[in-house]
């Protein structure tokens, strides 16, 4: 198992997020009517808040609130509609939880409003390729930003899933996103990276990225990985499992992420995955390079 470097990422209001001592669990809060993972069960703000509170009770270290589905084929959502979905949830959670709240958006105006409402970091699936001004918002607000790898938009990402060496190319493109963010004023110390499992990647690409996650340490930034309930997890079963039936498969992928040195895993079923992460972290403690 590769060693895991430690990082301190600064949050707004003088707080800090310590990364690397153990794997942190980020709970996914999809405030959408068409989430691939749960069919929109948390679209109602009150239900979303209750579910997020339960995630914290179950051991979530962070919450990631999103208002636009980015599943393959999803249609874009206007910024005003996205704000209307996420801001009430973030405001309610910010008053009730102490764990950092992340806003899952690629839109600068949504991120600005979310950070004002109490979010502490930004999770951008586009790696600043959709709305570059999002980098300036994060920089001005002193918020860390997760830069994820993808190509194209949700409607056409699989048409761009062509690689000679997927890991080398994803590393190169994430490196470009990091450099671009720095150019927008974001401190390199405030950047986290995500290889984007399932985004602009065929199942074989996602498995190769998982198998070679240790390579992403080359970028020198904390690693966030989100395998939860993704479609590629069905491939070994030879049939397409519904998202809700992919939890055991998710557990296997999460274990691989921890073994490879991921700093944060992003999951739906927090209670179950906290157990997976804690045991995988315990195994890491006893690993020796004999």
pLDDT at 39: 47
pLDDT for residue 36 is more than 70: no
- Could you tell me the residue ranges of all domains in the chain? 16-284
pLDDT at 42: 60
Parallel, antiparallel or unpaired: strands 101-104 and 62-66: parallel
Which contacts of 239-246 are long-range, i.e. CB under 8 A and separated by 24 or more positions? 243/36, 243/37, 243/38, 244/37, 244/38
Size of the chain, expressed as the number of residues it contains: 290
Average pLDDT, the chain: 93
Task: Give the pTM.
Answer: 0.94
- Check residue 13 and report its DSSP letter: G
pLDDT for residue 31 is more than 70: yes
Higher-confidence position of 74 and 129: 129
High-pLDDT (> 90) share of the chain, %: 83
Residue of 107, 151, 201, 266 marked active site: 266
Residue of 107, 229, 230, 246 marked active site: 230
230 is catalytic: yes
Q: Tokens in use for 285?
A: 């403690």
pLDDT for residue 54 is more than 50: yes
pLDDT tens track for 71-82: 766 778 899 999
Cα–Cα dist 28/210, whole Å: 20
Write out the H or E segment, with its range, that includes residue 9: strand 7-10
Cα–Cα dist 182/139, whole Å: 9
pLDDT for residue 10 is more than 90: yes
Q: What is the CATH architecture of 16-284?
A: Alpha-Beta Barrel (3.20)
């Amino acid at each position: 198992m590769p060693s895991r470097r430690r990082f301190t990422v600064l949050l707004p209001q003088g707080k800090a997020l310590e990364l690397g001592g153990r794997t942190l669990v980020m709970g996914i809060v999809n405030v959408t009517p068409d989430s691939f993972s749960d069919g929109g069960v948390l679209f109602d703000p009150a239900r979303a808040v209750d579910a997020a509170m339960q995630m914290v009770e179950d051991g979530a270290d962070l919450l990631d609130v999103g208002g636009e589905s980015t599943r393959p084929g999803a249609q874009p959502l206007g910024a005003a509609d996205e704000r209307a979905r996420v801001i009430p949830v973030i405001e309610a959670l910010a008053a009730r939880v102490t764990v950092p709240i992340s806003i899952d958006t690629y839109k600068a105006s949504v991120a600005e409003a979310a950070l004002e409402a109490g979010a502490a970091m930004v999770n951008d699936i586009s790696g600043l390729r959709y709305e570059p001004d999002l980098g300036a918002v994060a920089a001005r607000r002193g918020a860390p930003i997760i830069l994820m790898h993808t190509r194209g938009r949700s409607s056409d990402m699989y048409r761009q899933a062509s690689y000679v060496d997927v890991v080398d190319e994803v590393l190169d493109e994430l490196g470009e996103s990091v450099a671009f963010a720095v150019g927008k004023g974001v401190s390199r110390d405030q950047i986290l990276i995500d290889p984007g499992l399932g985004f602009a990647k065929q199942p074989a690409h996602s498995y190769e990225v998982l198998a070679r996650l240790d390579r992403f340490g080359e970028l020198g930034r904390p690693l966030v990985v989100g395998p939860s309930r993704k479609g590629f997890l069905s491939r070994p079963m030879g049939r397409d499992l519904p998202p809700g039936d992919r939890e055991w498969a998710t557990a296997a992928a999460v274990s691989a992420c921890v073994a490879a040195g991921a700093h944060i895993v992003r999951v739906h079923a927090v209670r179950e995955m906290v157990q997976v992460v804690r045991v995988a972290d315990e195994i890491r403690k006893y690993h020796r390079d004999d």
